[in-house]
């Protein structure tokens, strides 16, 4: 053909396509969700460019015909057509976006599949959604025109699910403006997707939270009243009327489009939050908690924050994964981006949510936004509301346990990194302890159980709960009936050191020298006597172990069953901490 060029797919594409086709066969409907979601992304991008380029701060009304997604079946040609008026693609973009997969995408997708740890139907989260078109089509044709260059030509991309695709300039079936039309040449076993009813049902399901009109070409029946000419009427009298039923094909709107965060929290049902969460963040878990609020006055914005009930996939690989796209920033309903780190401190990275500001400027770069005072007001407020949400969650012990297991490490980072809210995070911290078995204990609970003569909150550091249990360092405290907290994660120690004291009680490491217990005074004389008695032995032991291993060997009254224990000097680093620092060192 004229001017047609052929290109090979990147090798991973073929593998991903195979996996999608094999594992999602019984769940083929999802192709429409993925293609509609791509079209909505494309409309978001175009609208963003429009408002930022022109400097206009009006996002266009909700009914702006400039942004639209249409789905139509052509029964004769056996094709299903999804068309949007979004950004479209240039030739290079076609090659980069539909010929290869973003690096992290493939690896994550393959790994998730291999580990069986995720619902494969959520392919959208791996950046491979487009290829789900091949679930129902044996040939996919994409017509597209970019809005980014004036007079950009229209291109036609086509592939038959092989290892190659073609691109050529295309003069046929011109798109009205910029945008993309995807033509699916349906497989024989997928002809059900030609049925209006089926397409309407799916489009409704997948478009509920999309803020652009989604229209389906469908038969619509109308009932009109017309004069009945078969009945004679006397002069001057009103003609008799009759009802005519007409059926005609027309575009039918599937979604309401009012963003959920613009509605009053009182009117939104729990299921709606849950559905919104799943569809917006391509998540499959239930929401553990959410908060929906607005701020009015000098700075105006609305926000909707969610606590997931499982650790988001990308964060399970990397605690502060930069590809995480969990906070969506809008300005006056215009989607700006979902990688806006400045909205939240990084210890809140595990939250998902939407922030829609009324007064952030649309047409300035992020450098300016970063320094914007408004942004810091928003950020503070989001932190405040998040803390409230966690506090409320803590009322339900079972739920909070799961929350803490998933996200406790983030809150600990918050303690270490955020001086201002440290004192609010401390009550939310949980630890295992000597007396509480499988349950977590809070500082408040610990203090409530303290013995009368107990002066401090005691803890030991160890690699695991099992080794903490056996640590000789806890013998004395245990013999006095005190509970002891277990610091088994590297971050724990930094966390307690940052907290310092709680409710007036110092947090005390039992693995350090000079830990004092009540009753020490009375035993002082005995200890001194024993020190003198064992002088030679202690010296011998010290020489035997050598200076590199021990600084000094002392008599102590803190052991009950064991003969000896290792302790660190008051300012020294614990072995757990030392190992942690070593592992972190580059």
How far is CA 395 from each of CA 399, 401, 427, 450, rounded to the nearest angstrom? 9, 11, 12, 22
**Closer CB to ligand ADP, residue 38 or residue 255?**
38
Q: Which does 442 bind (CB under 5 to 8 A by kind): ligand ADP, Mg ion, none?
A: none
Q: Encoding tokens for residue 139? A: 């040939």
Q: Tell the smallest beta-carbon distance from residue 37 to ligand ADP (Å).
A: 7
d(CA 348, CA 351): 6
Q: Taking contact as CB under 5 A, which single stretch among the options 123-131, 211-219, 439-447, 509-517 is the one that binds Mg ion? A: 123-131
Burial (CB count <10 Å: 0-12, 13-18, 19+), residue 277: buried
Q: CA-CA distances (angstroms) from residue 148 to 49, 56, 105, 484?
A: 9, 17, 26, 63
Residues of span 11-50 touching Mg ion by CB under 5 A: 38
Q: Which is nearer to ligand ADP, 134 or 347 (CB)?
A: 134
Bridge partners of 155, per DSSP, are 144, 169
Does 129 belong to an annotated binding site? yes
Q: How far is the CB of 403 from Mg ion (least distance, A)?
A: 30
Report in angstroms how near the CB of residue 130 gets to Mg ion at its nearest.
6
Please indicate if the annotation marks 127 as binding a ligand: yes
The interface partner of residue 180, options being ligand ADP, Mg ion, none and the CB cut-off 5 to 8 Å by kind, is ligand ADP
Number of CB atoms found within 10 A of residue 260's CB:
20
Nearer to ligand ADP, 13 or 304 (CB): 13
Task: Kindly tell me the burial class for residue 244, based on how many C-beta atoms sit within 10 Å of its own C-beta (0-12, 13-18, 19 or more).
Answer: exposed
Question: Out of Mg ion, ligand ADP, none, which partner does residue 576 contact, by CB within 5 to 8 A per kind?
Answer: none
Cα(342)–Cα(52) distance, rounded to whole angstroms?
A: 20
Smallest CA-to-CA distance from 66 within 88, 83, 43 is with 43
Cβ closest to ligand ADP, residue 155 vs residue 261: 155
260: β partners: none
39 by Cβ neighbours in 10 Å (0-12 / 13-18 / 19+) ranks as: buried
338 binds, options Mg ion, ligand ADP, none, Cβ within 5 to 8 A by partner type: none
Q: How far is the CB of 131 from ligand ADP (least distance, A)?
A: 6
Q: Given the complex with Mg ion, which of 93 and 191 has the nearer CB atom?
A: 93
User: For residues 13 and 462, which CB has a smaller minimum distance to ligand ADP in the complex?
Assistant: 13
- 39 contact, one of Mg ion, ligand ADP, none, CB 5-8 Å limit per kind: ligand ADP
Residue facing ligand ADP at closest CB distance: 129
Tell me the CA distances in angstroms from 432 to 353, 398, 415, 485, 492, one per residue in order: 31, 15, 18, 6, 11
Phi-psi region for residue 357, left (φ > 0), alpha (ψ -120 to 50) or beta? beta
Report the Cα 442 to chain-centroid distance in Å. Answer: 27
Total number of residues that touch Mg ion (CB under 5 A): 2
- Minimum Å distance from CB 578 to Mg ion? 46
Tell whether 207 is in a known binding site.
no
Q: Residue 457: name its binding partner from ligand ADP, Mg ion, none (Cβ under 5 to 8 Å by kind).
A: none
**What does 128 interact with, of Mg ion, ligand ADP, none (CB < 5 to 8 A by kind)?**
ligand ADP
Nearer to ligand ADP, 127 or 353 (CB): 127
Establish whether 126 is an annotated binding residue: yes
> Least separation, in Å, of the C-beta of 26 and Mg ion?
21
Instruction: Report, in Å, the least distance between residue 129 CB and Mg ion.
Output: 3
Residue number, 71 or 441, with CB nearest to Mg ion: 71
Q: Are 458 and 484 in contact (CB under 8 A)?
A: yes
Smallest distance, ligand ADP to C-beta of residue 293, A = 29
82-96 in b/e form (b: 16+ CB < 10 A) is bbbbbbbbbbeebbe
Helix locations, 291-439, DSSP H: 313-317, 366-371, 373-393, 397-417, 422-425
Instruction: List the one residue out of 199, 86, 181 whose CA is nearest residue 141.
Output: 181
Tokens representing 406?
């998933």
Q: Which residues bind to ligand ADP, rule: CB under 6 A?
A: 34, 38-39, 41-42, 84, 86-89, 97-98, 124, 127-130, 180
Give every strand in the sheet of 79-84, ordered side by side. Answer: 5-8, 164-169, 155-159, 137-145, 179-186, 79-84, 69-74, 214-227, 241-253
Q: Say if CB 226 and CB 244 are below 8 A apart.
A: yes
Which of 129/179 has CB closer to Mg ion?
Answer: 129
Which residue lies nearer to ligand ADP by CB, 92 or 296? 92
Residue 394 CB, shortest distance to ligand ADP, in Å, is 35
Is the CB of 38 or the CB of 108 nearer to Mg ion? 38
Residue of the chain from 129, 259, 408, 472 that contacts Mg ion (CB under 5 A):
129
Closest approach, Cβ 37 to Mg ion, in A, equals 5
336 binds, among ligand ADP, Mg ion, none (CB under 5 to 8 A by kind): none
Alpha-carbon 299 to chain mean position:
26
- Residue 98 binding target from ligand ADP, Mg ion, none, CB below 5 to 8 Å by type: ligand ADP
498 annotated to a ligand binding site: no
Residue 417 binds which entry of ligand ADP, Mg ion, none, CB below 5-8 Å type-dependent: none
Q: Which of the choices ligand ADP, Mg ion, none does residue 87 contact, using the CB cut-off of 5 to 8 A by kind?
A: ligand ADP
Minimum Å distance from CB 156 to ligand ADP? 14
Q: 461 is written with which tokens?
A: 């550091």
Q: Is 34 marked as a binding-site residue? A: yes
Residues 24/186, Cβ–Cβ less than 8 Å: no
In a 13 Å sphere around the CA of 211, the CA atoms on its Cβ side amount to 21
SS3 525: helix
Binding residues for ATP: 34, 38, 84, 89, 97, 104-105, 125-130, 180, 366
Binding residues: 34, 38, 84, 89, 97, 104-105, 125-130, 180, 366
Binding interface with Mg ion (CB under 5 A): 38, 129
């Amino acid at each position: 053909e004229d001017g047609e060029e052929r290109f090979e797919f990147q090798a991973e594409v073929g593998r991903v396509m195979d996996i999608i086709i094999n594992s999602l066969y019984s769940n083929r409907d999802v192709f429409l969700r993925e293609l509609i979601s791509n079209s909505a992304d494309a409309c978001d991008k175009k609208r963003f460019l429009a408002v930022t380029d022109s400097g206009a701060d009006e996002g266009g009304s909700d009914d702006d015909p400039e942004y639209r997604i249409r789905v139509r079946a052509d029964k004769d040609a056996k094709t299903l057509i999804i068309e949007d008026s979004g950004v479209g693609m240039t030739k290079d973009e076609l090659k980069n976006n539909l010929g290869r997969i973003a690096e992290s995408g493939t690896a994550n997708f393959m790994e998730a599949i291999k580990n069986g740890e995720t619902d494969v139907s959520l392919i959208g989260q791996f950046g491979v959604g487009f290829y789900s078109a091949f679930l129902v089509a044996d040939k996919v044709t994409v017509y597209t025109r970019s809005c980014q260059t004036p007079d950009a030509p229209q291109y036609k991309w086509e592939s038959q699910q092989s290892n190659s695709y073609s691109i050529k300039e295309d003069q046929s079936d011109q798109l009205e403006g910029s945008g993309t039309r995807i033509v699916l040449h349906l497989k024989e076993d997928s002809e059900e997707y030609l049925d209006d009813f089926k397409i309407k049902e799916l489009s409704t399901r997948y478009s509920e939270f999309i803020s652009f009109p989604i229209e389906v070409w469908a038969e619509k029946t109308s009932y009109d009243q017309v004069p009945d000419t078969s009945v004679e009427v006397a002069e001057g009298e009103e003609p008799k009327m009759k009802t005519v039923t007409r059926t005609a094909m027309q575009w039918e709107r599937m979604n309401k489009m009012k963003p959920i965060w613009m509605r009053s929290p009182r009117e939104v049902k729990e299921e709606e939050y849950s559905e919104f969460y799943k569809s917006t963040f391509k998540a499959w878990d239930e929401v553990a908690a959410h908060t929906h609020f607005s701020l009015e006055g000098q700075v105006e914005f609305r926000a909707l924050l969610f606590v997931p009930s499982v650790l988001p996939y990308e964060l399970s690989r990397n605690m502060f994964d930069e590809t995480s796209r969990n906070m969506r920033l809008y300005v006056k309903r215009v989607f700006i981006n979902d990688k806006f780190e400045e909205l939240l401190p990084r210890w809140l990275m595990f939250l998902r949510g939407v922030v829609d500001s009324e007064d952030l400027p649309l047409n300035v770069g992020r450098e300016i936004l970063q320094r914007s005072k408004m942004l810091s007001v928003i950020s503070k407020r989001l932190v405040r509301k998040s803390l409230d949400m966690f506090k409320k969650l803590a009322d339900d012990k079972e739920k909070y346990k799961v929350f803490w297991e998933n996200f406790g490490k983030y809150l600990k980072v918050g303690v270490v990194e955020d001086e201002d809210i440290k004192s609010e995070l401390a009550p939310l911290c949980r630890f295992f302890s000597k007396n509480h078995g499988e349950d977590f204990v809070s500082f408040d609970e610990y203090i409530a159980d303290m013995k009368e003569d107990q002066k401090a909150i005691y803890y030991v550091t160890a690699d695991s709960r099992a080794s903490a249990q056996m640590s000789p360092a806890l013998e004395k405290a245990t013999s006095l009936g005190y509970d002891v907290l277990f610091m088994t994660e590297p971050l724990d120690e930094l966390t307690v050191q940052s907290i310092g004291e709680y409710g007036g009680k110092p947090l005390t490491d039992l693995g350090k020298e000079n830990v004092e217990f009540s009753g020490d005074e009375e035993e002082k004389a005995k200890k001194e006597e024993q020190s003198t008695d064992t002088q030679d032995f202690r010296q011998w032991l010290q020489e035997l172990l050598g200076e590199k291993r021990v600084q000094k060997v002392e008599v102590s009254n803190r052991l009950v069953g064991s003969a000896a224990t290792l302790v660190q000097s008051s300012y020294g680093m614990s072995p757990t901490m030392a190992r942690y620092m070593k592992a972190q060192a580059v």
